[in-house]
Structure 1
């Protein structure tokens, strides 16, 4: 999505709030709000925001895992499965 096709002046937020909410909720596309031609904020629907936050959380977990691997703090899958097998047999 290009913001150039989804931008409106910030004054529209005050005068057309209900329409903007309806459009964003329906399209699930964020809307760039400008003031004096300069980008000032992005408005998005709640469901999109929540999905974005979940994606960011997953990326953080992946980054943490990569750092652990780089530090050598990991075990091979074979070792983990062998340990699980030992626990099951007890």
Structure 2
């Protein structure tokens, strides 16, 4: 992140919205919008946002898997396939 380029006041967003959208799409960097000197919002291109959401979902699945392992809430691969076959063919 380049603070001199990636942090903009809200008045800049109001007057240069098209420029900000063009910049985030070209650079793939997130722009931080400030109001009264405090960070209040971010603007990022859709691809970056979607990748962030995918990463968060993957991390949630990893944490859930770790919790299942710690709580002995697991079954063997053979048992899983038996259950799947039963659901599919019964």
Give TM-score scaled by structure 2 length.
Answer: 0.79
Q: Deviations over 1:7-48 (max 9, x none)?
A: 000111110011110001000100000111111111111110
Match of 2:52 in 1: 52
> How many angstroms apart in 2 are the aligned matches of 1:82 and 1:40?
50
Alignment length, in residue pairs?
81
**C-alpha RMSD over aligned residues:** 2.0
Match of 1:66 in 2: 66
Give TM-score scaled by structure 1 length.
Answer: 0.79
Match of 2:13 in 1: 13
Moved over 2 A (4+): 79-84
Q: Deviations over 1:35-83 (max 9, x none)?
A: 11111111111110001001101011101000000001224xxx52698
CA 1:74–1:19 in structure 2 vs 1: closer, same or farther (change >3 Å)?
same
